[in-house]
Amino acid sequence: MITFLSFPTQEVEKSGMLNKTKIAEGGRKLRKNWGSSWVVLAGNSLVFYKVPPTSVPAVWGPAGSRPESSVDLRGAALAHGRHLSSRQNVLHVRTVPGHEFLLQSDDETEFRAWHRALREVIDRLERE
Ligand code: I3S
């Protein structure tokens, strides 16, 4: 929880609504269960909230709300997920502990922006 408390001081690279499903946990394949989340990319993490914030500008999750989950992007692999889903505009993220998930947006511009932002953060973390 201490980690979460420090998040709001970090610069948010990108946030927005995305469809998400986890497809593996610690290397073990999971059945897909697509759902939408408010996603925040900041520091070395991708943080997921159940619902978007109500404040403007909308950046972090709702005031005082806890994230649903978060992932550490250090050492993560990012790829297009076209071979893993019939949906359009899917990204595949695999973390070092072997957790894998898909992120999807029906909006292609938004998908490209997420792809670019995630690529930049993962590459930066690799150089640190
Ligand atoms: O890659 P899959 O396993 O065929 O993914 C689809 C299934 O998970 C399906 O659920 P059930 O097989 O449990 O009924 C989901 O409803 C689909 O959304 C999954 O495919 P997409 O292509 O949407 O990721």
- List the chain pLDDT tens, one digit each, 128 residues: 444 444 556 788 999 999 999 999 999 999 999 999 999 999 999 999 999 888 766 677 667 778 899 999 999 999 999 999 999 999 999 999 999 999 999 999 999 999 999 999 999 999 98
In ligand 1, the atom with minimum distance to the C-alpha of 84 is 1
CA distance 44 to 121: 7
Question: Cα torsion at 93, 6, 14, 74 (round to 10°)?
Answer: -30
- For ligand 1, is residue 88 a contact (CB within 6 Å)? no
The whole-number pLDDT of residue 61 equals 66
| Ligand 1 nearest-atom number relative to CA 34 | 18
Cα–ligand 1 centroid distance for 24 (angstroms): 14
The answer to whether 106 and 35 have CB atoms below 8 angstroms apart is no
pLDDT at position 125, please? 95
pLDDT at position 5 is 42
The answer, yes or no, to whether any atom of ligand 1 lies below 6 A from the CB of 82, is no
